[in-house]
Amino acid sequence: MFTQTIEAVGICKTPYQQKFGIPRQPGLVEAKGQIRLTGEYNHLDFVQGIEQYSHLWLLFSFHENLEQGFKAKVRPPRLGGNEKIGVFATRSTFRPNGIGQSVVKLEGVRFESNQVIIDISGMDLVDGTPILDIKPYLPFSDSLPDAQAGMAQESPELCEIVFNDSCLTQLSQMYKGEELKRLIEQVLAQDPRPAYKKNKPDDKQYFITLDKFNIGWQVIEQCIVVFSIELIKA
């Protein structure tokens, strides 16, 4: 049997501090992040010429799930979390080898304090995710508009987001408040709740951490209402 040892080439910094709330695919939320190259890969030689591409493929480790291993059959959220299908027929994070892949937008490359930083946006990765490889996205080959995707043909429906008055005031007085508001809106519009919770009465208060903020929200009549935004103390 073939085996190969893999070493990370970098670490991804993102606003997503925990798995709950991260979009289920890339490109759904415009959040900004960075790839910081590590070890012997932290050299501009490795990224020379990369600026000519608008998008990159990231291969990464689902490192937070590796310990839990994998199952041959999984319940994808798209099927309401009830039906099981083969793991290779899904983008499940519990898979043999635990490797994820995402297309992200390339925003730029910098070299600061001896650190190669690749600025990206649109990623669906948790903060600290090990990056295994980076490749340019090639539209002539990678973009297949006629491809069939069964139950996942369309992007998921978006939920309406409402902020209560105190959150709106808070955001309007905050440095980069508009940016944070857009991030919260786009993240919550995906309705991060487990599939079985949808279309049922649900009075639970949920919390997600985005950047340095803990966001409290609740579903009221099919609408997501943001009721608190708290700065997390270091």
CA 57 from centre of chain: 14
Tally of CB atoms within 10 A around 197: 15
CB count within 10 Å of CB 144 equals: 9
Question: Which residue in 11, 24, 107, 132 binds ligand SAH (CB under 6 A)?
Answer: 24
Do residues 119 and 109 touch, judged by C-beta distance below 8 A?
A: yes
Count residues binding ligand SAH (CB under 6 A). 18
Contact pattern from residue 60 through residue 89 relative to ligand SAH, giving x for each residue in contact according to CB under 6 A and a dash for the rest: --xxxx------------------------
Residue 101 binding ligand SAH, by CB under 6 A: yes
**Residue 232 and residue 209: Cα distance in Å, rounded?**
9
Q: Could you please report the per-residue DSSP string of 155-211?
A: PPPPPEEEE-HHHHHHHHTSTTHHHHHHHHHHHHTT--S-GGGTTS-----EEEEET
Select the residue interacting with ligand SAH from 8, 9, 29, 102 (CB under 6 A): 102
Which one of 31, 75, 105, 129 is in contact with ligand SAH (CB under 6 A)?
129
Choose which of 47, 100, 105, 171 interacts with ligand SAH (CB under 6 A): 100
Counting contacts by CB under 6 A, is residue 126 touching ligand SAH?
A: yes
CA distance 106 to 38: 18
Among 98-106, 146-154, 175-183, 219-227, the segment contacting ligand SAH (CB under 6 A): 98-106
Which positions lie near ligand SAH, rule CB under 6 A? 19, 22, 24-26, 62-65, 91, 93, 100-102, 124-126, 129
